[in-house]
Amino acid sequence: MSQPTLATSYLKRGLSRQTWIITGIILVLLHLLPWAIPQIVHIVIMIYLFATMGQAWNVLGGYTGQFSFGHSLFFGLGAYVSTLLYLKLGITPWIGILISSLSGIALGLFIGALSFRYGLKGPFFALIMLAFAEIFHMITMGWNAVGGSPGLLIPLKGNAPHLMQFTSKQPFYYMALWMMVGSLYLVWRLEKTRTGLYFLSVREDHDAAEALGVDTFKVQMIAMAISAGLTAMIGTIYAQYLLFIDPDSTFGILNSVEIMVRPIIGGPGTVLGPLLGSVVLTPLAEITRLAFQSYSGVYLMWYGMILVIVIMFLPHGLMGMIRQIIDKYRKG
């Protein structure tokens, strides 16, 4: 490797003009997609929503190395907070989504303070998250004031943009698209900042990071706040999109798996991994759900199989595979 000059920076982020132009073209095409192929809008919305949640999980799990096994907690919290605010107090979900996000952050920081203060990591942190998600699952199941096990129905008001209700899917498509693009951009920028590098150092070696002046507690709390706040926002959008939430589909353990399996298969700790994982898995789940309607849960068998294959042959996920191919191409 030649002696690098200081004009070229290896830490800063920059894309070539070519890449920016291609990205721009892809973005424009994605904006035109609902008009071009309206049949697949629903699936693409789900791809975006899960890609965004995967990205949120990725900040904590992929970059900071704290695997959360209960991210449905923040998703469910976001869905319930905005829905209850609307149903009980008549507060529009546009404000609800902010309050959802803030309550997600607050709960995330509370759990973070409990766990990171005592250096919990690995399976112990995963179980703490699972436990909290189950606590909320049980509370919402049993407490009739918040809907109980039948869940909550958001009354249909027709096309009511001020209540985040639309008769067509297009507005949700654009909301989901921009949430996804925003989260992608945020993480992409974050990756090469001091905070981003600190996330990685905590994942790689806690003690070494601490010895180099990294406040590991604070760094993990920041990752937790970003992750929780973003996931809760998606919870609100999801609730408004389906106009129905129940404890199983929000706080349920399967939902946690749904959130974490995409970044793991796509490549944890990479910017594009969650999106890639979502592009592959979300249609697969939806299609198998349609194809095997009478056998509920078949899509989970698919997840299991893919997960086994990916962990055995692609330890760095699909992104790792792509990177290998690019390296080979460059050398050869």
What residue ranges bind other proteins (CB under 8 A)?
A: 1, 3-4, 6, 9-12, 192-194, 197-198, 200-201, 204-205, 207-216, 269
The nearest distance, CB 308 to other proteins, in angstroms, is: 23
φ/ψ of 152, rounded to 5, equals -120, 140
In one letter, which amino acid is 170?
Q
3-state DSSP call for residue 332? coil
Which residues neighbour 178 within 8 Å (Cβ) at sequence distance 6 or greater? Answer: none
Question: Are 263 and 301 within 8 A, CB to CB?
Answer: no
Which DSSP category does 44 fall into?
H
The nearest distance, CB 6 to other proteins, in angstroms, is: 6
Q: Which residues of 260-283 are buried (b: 16+ CB within 10 A; e: fewer)?
A: bbbbbbbbbbbbbbbbbbbbbbbe
Judged by CB, which is closer to other proteins: 180, or 214?
214
The nearest distance, CB 312 to other proteins, in angstroms, is: 20
The nearest distance, CB 1 to other proteins, in angstroms, is: 6
Q: How far is CA 269 from CA 23, 112, 266, 272, in A?
A: 21, 20, 10, 9
Determine the distance from the C-alpha atom of residue 106 to the mean position of all C-alpha atoms in its chain, rounded to a whole number: 18
Judged by CB, which is closer to other proteins: 3, or 296?
3
Judged by CB, which is closer to other proteins: 104, or 196?
196
The nearest distance, CB 194 to other proteins, in angstroms, is: 5
Give the residue carrying structure tokens 């291609």: 22
The nearest distance, CB 207 to other proteins, in angstroms, is: 6
Enclosing H/E stretch for 54: helix 41-58
Cα-based torsion angle of the residue sequence 142, 250, 234, 160 in order, rounded to the nearest 10 degrees: -70
The nearest distance, CB 114 to other proteins, in angstroms, is: 18
Question: Are 198 and 214 within 8 A, CB to CB?
Answer: yes
Nearest to 320 by CA among 282, 280, 268: 268
Give the residue carrying structure tokens 């001091």: 194
Enclosing H/E stretch for 319: helix 317-331
